[in-house]
């Protein structure tokens, strides 16, 4: 819009926060209780030239507002916030910095790591700062209906929006790696054939790269560095005429819903991209630093760093909690997503320092008519005091279960977990999730995730190989419980190759057939490798982009078959607890029996045998359908199993599928028949 010296703001409304067009003008509203003055800055279309500075009016609630008659969608704006600059008291006001509206729906510009963004600098950042663009997009959702997948039937699939499609040969090159690519029929067909019910997207909120990475020519590929909680990340937009990042995101959601696939967003409300006290002033830090962040009580110039990323967002403040709740509701009501995975979730429940299951965040979610009905998944740890909270989240929440991950890696790759530990994890980790009326589905079971080795690398490397990250291989976890099976990296020896294939399949069978909610990582089903890099957060290249042309289609079919077995056999994936007595792990419930290899006897005292790594699991469903028998052997010797009474068919075999293909011939096995389980 054109402005002149006579442009004035009329009194505005303090609610809703952000910039809203009402058909005649735009209302601007910003929460900044400690500010002395707030100035609205209007810019040209590309955000370079500052056209006007207009003063907002304060209200008793600490909200500043103003109404711009004639303002319209497309207007680019930012704020200058004035107040005391006193870092030692927690305040970092500097009106030389143009600040991004926390409620901006679309962001103009990109942070390039410039030193001028330091709050101690006198340099004006007007031309280079991130700004908001006023939008008003009408979208026809048509017959879009949320899939509402029952919690006990979810098959989660974690993927990076760009990396998943960037190298896919069946997608037009100009849209690969974008929201539009994930809506392509070839992708929808693939997910549907695999059996996925719910995709969990790594962060897609507007983000900013760390200055260090920018200087080194890298980016924050994973995206756990949010700067805009209401705006989709622009770099995932195709730029096609007639579309916007918002419309293209909505098209993607609608397309996935058309195949009954849920969209769950990995969200980062525990910290922002502004980093620690030496980080840039892009938005929150300059608007009201002491409100938005947890500051150290002994030194308010420094931040509590429970996230490990420099700062921790303060949801104990009503304005900050409201922003998070408004953001979540926006993505559900306006963008139709089906749920959220909360990164470092304990931080969200620290109103001061201590984690509390009664925190305002949990109470607000539980009482919200919109958010209480969507999928809520916690990463149940952070770096704060008592930061490990597996099983400590409210009723209705799911949680990533790293105990399952470590147990299954140890059991199959090192014979390190006992049968008792294996059984606990296989049956849904009742020791963690049985309280507060939570069911097995609350446990998100996984063997790999974006953070760590891929499934192929897990059986191909003894050590991480992160040199490409530029941190001298110091980054990433050293506790991987991996095994290279005899050769580090790409294998040459046939026995090593075969052992790896068996182990991958054994891990996948355990994951998909365990009680709880299984989560696959995109690419694990066809042998994706990251060449031993277990922390490729800054690798936006072919190291992390899925290599579809070299996919192991046999493994792919094997995984699809396992998912189909879980879905079609009621005995598998039951969302109920089986009765247990933890002292010797006898389970008298008629729905399950734990069998020793020598016949139909229950394991009994053999639970305490630390050298036993073989057993059978006989599971029955409540509906009287066919029982399922799972036989496993993680020992170093083949084991002969005597089958229990019944007529059995082999539906899946992790030791032979990779050689014989996915089309197994079903074999009837008579009562008392024996079967040999090979060495994995």
Residue 109 sits at φ, ψ, to 5 deg, of: 100, 175
Cα distance between residue 254 and residue 663, in whole Å: 34
Q: Which residue has the tokens 């009580």?
A: 297
**How many alpha carbons lie under 13 Å from residue 87 in its C-beta half-sphere?**
12
Q: Are 621 and 574 in contact (CB under 8 A)?
A: yes
The distance of Cα 609 from the centroid of its chain, to the nearest Å, equals 38
Active-site residue among 379, 382, 421, 457?
379
Cβ of 45: how many Cβ atoms within 10 Å?
A: 12
Residue 101 contacts by C-beta under 8 Å, 6 or more apart in sequence? 18, 19, 30, 77, 78, 79, 132, 283
Give the pairing of strands 156-159 and 517-521: parallel
- For the question of residue 379 being annotated catalytic, the response is yes
Which residues have CB under 8 Å from 102's CB, separation 6+?
17, 30, 228, 229, 230, 283, 284, 287, 323
Are the CB atoms for 91 and 290 separated by under 8 Å? yes
What does the alpha-carbon distance between residue 387 and residue 378 come to, in Å, rounded to a whole number?
13
**Of the candidates 535, 545, 523, 546, the residue with the CA atom closest to the CA atom of residue 468:** 535
Look-up of token digits 């663009």: 133
Residue 464 dihedral angles phi and psi, to the nearest 5°: -70, 155
What are the tokens at 111?
A: 């942070």
Residues with Cβ within 8 Å of 46's Cβ and at least 6 positions away in sequence, in order, are: 76, 108
Beta carbons of 236 and 255 less than 8 angstroms apart: no
Catalytic position from the list 343, 382, 399, 525: 343
Q: Indicate if 274 belongs to the active site.
A: no
CB of 84 closer than 8 Å to CB of 57 = no
Q: What are the percentages of helix, strand and coil residues in the chain, rounded to 5? A: 25, 20, 55
- What whole-number distance in Å separates Cα of residue 288 and Cα of residue 173? 44
Question: Helix, strand, or coil here: 525?
Answer: helix
Note if the bond before 16 is cis, omega within 30 degrees. Answer: yes
Calculate the alpha carbon distances from 445 to 34, 161, 394, 530 in Å.
45, 22, 18, 22
**Among all residues, which ones are annotated catalytic?**
343, 379
């Amino acid at each position: 819009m054109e402005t002149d010296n006579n442009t004035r703001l009329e009194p505005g409304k303090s609610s809703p926060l952000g910039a809203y067009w009402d058909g005649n003008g735009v209302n601007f509203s910003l929460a900044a209780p400690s500010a002395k003055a707030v100035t609205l800055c209007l810019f040209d279309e590309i955000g370079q030239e500052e056209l006007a500075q207009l003063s907002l009016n304060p209200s008793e609630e600490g909200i500043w507002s103003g109404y711009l008659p004639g303002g319209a969608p497309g207007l680019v704006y930012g704020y200058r916030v004035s107040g005391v600059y006193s870092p030692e008291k927690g305040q970092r006001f500097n009106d030389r910095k143009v600040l991004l509206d926390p409620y901006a729906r679309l962001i103009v510009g990109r942070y390039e790591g410039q030193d001028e963004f330091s709050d101690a600098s006198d340099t004006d950042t007007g031309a280079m700062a991130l700004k908001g663009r006023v939008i008003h997009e009408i979208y026809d959702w048509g017959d879009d209906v949320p899939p509402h997948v029952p919690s006990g039937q979810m098959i989660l699939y974690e993927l990076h929006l760009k990396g998943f499609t960037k190298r896919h040969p069946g997608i037009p090159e100009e849209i690969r790696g974008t929201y539009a690519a994930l809506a392509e029929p070839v992708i929808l067909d693939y997910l549907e054939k695999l059996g996925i019910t719910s995709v969990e997207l790594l962060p897609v909120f507007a983000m900013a790269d760390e200055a260090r990475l920018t200087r080194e020519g890298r980016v924050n590929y994973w995206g756990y560095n949010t700067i805009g909680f209401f705006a989709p990340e622009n770099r995932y937009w195709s730029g096609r005429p007639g579309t916007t990042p918002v419309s293209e995101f909505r098209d993607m959601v609608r397309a996935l819903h058309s195949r009954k696939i849920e969209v769950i967003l990995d969200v980062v409300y525990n910290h922002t991209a502004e980093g620690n006290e030496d980080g840039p002033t892009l938005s929150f830090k300059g608007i009201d630093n002491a409100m938005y962040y947890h500051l150290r009580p002994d030194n308010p110039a420094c931040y509590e760093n429970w996230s490990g990323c420099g700062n921790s967002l303060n949801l104990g403040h009503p304005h900050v909690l409201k922003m998070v709740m408004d953001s979540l509701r926006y993505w559900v009501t306006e963008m139709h997503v089906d749920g959220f995975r909360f990164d470092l979730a304990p931080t969200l429940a620290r109103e001061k320092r201590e984690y509390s299951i009664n925190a305002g965040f949990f109470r607000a979610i539980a009482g919200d008519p919109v958010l209480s009905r969507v999928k809520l998944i916690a990463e149940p740890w952070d770096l704060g005091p008592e930061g490990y909270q597996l099983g400590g989240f409210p009723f209705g929440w799911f949680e990533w279960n790293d105990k399952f991950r470590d147990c299954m890696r140890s059991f199959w790759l090192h014979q390190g977990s006992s049968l008792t530990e294996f059984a606990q994890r296989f049956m849904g980790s009742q020791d963690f999730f049985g309280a507060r009326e939570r069911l097995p589905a609350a446990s998100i079971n996984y063997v790999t995730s974006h953070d760590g080795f891929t499934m192929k690398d897990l059986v191909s490397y003894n050590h991480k190989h992160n040199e490409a990250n530029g941190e001298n291989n110091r980054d990433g976890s050293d506790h991987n419980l991996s095994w290279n099976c005899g050769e580090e990296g790409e294998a040459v020896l046939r026995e090593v190759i075969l052992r790896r294939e068996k182990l991958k399949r054994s891990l996948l069978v355990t994951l998909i057939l365990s009680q709880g909610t299984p989560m696959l990582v995109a690419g694990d089903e066809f042998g994706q490798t990251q060449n031993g890099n277990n922390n490729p957060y800054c690798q936006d290249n072919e190291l992390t982009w899925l290599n579809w042309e070299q996919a192991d289609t046999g493994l792919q079919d094997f995984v699809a078959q396992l998912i189909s077995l879980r879905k079609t056999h009621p005995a598998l994936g039951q969302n109920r607890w089986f009765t247990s007595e933890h002292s010797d792990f006898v389970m008298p419930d008629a729905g399950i029996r734990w069998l020793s290899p020598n016949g139909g006897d229950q394991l009994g005292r053999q639970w305490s045998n630390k050298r036993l790594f073989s057993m059978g699991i006989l599971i029955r469903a409540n509906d009287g359908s066919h029982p399922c028998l799972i036989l496993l052997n993680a020992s170093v010797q083949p084991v002969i199993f005597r089958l229990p009474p019944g007529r059995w068919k082999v539906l899946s075999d992790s030791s032979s599928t990779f050689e014989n293909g996915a089309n197994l011939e079903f074999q009837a096995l008579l009562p008392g028949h024996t079967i040999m389980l090979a060495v994995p």
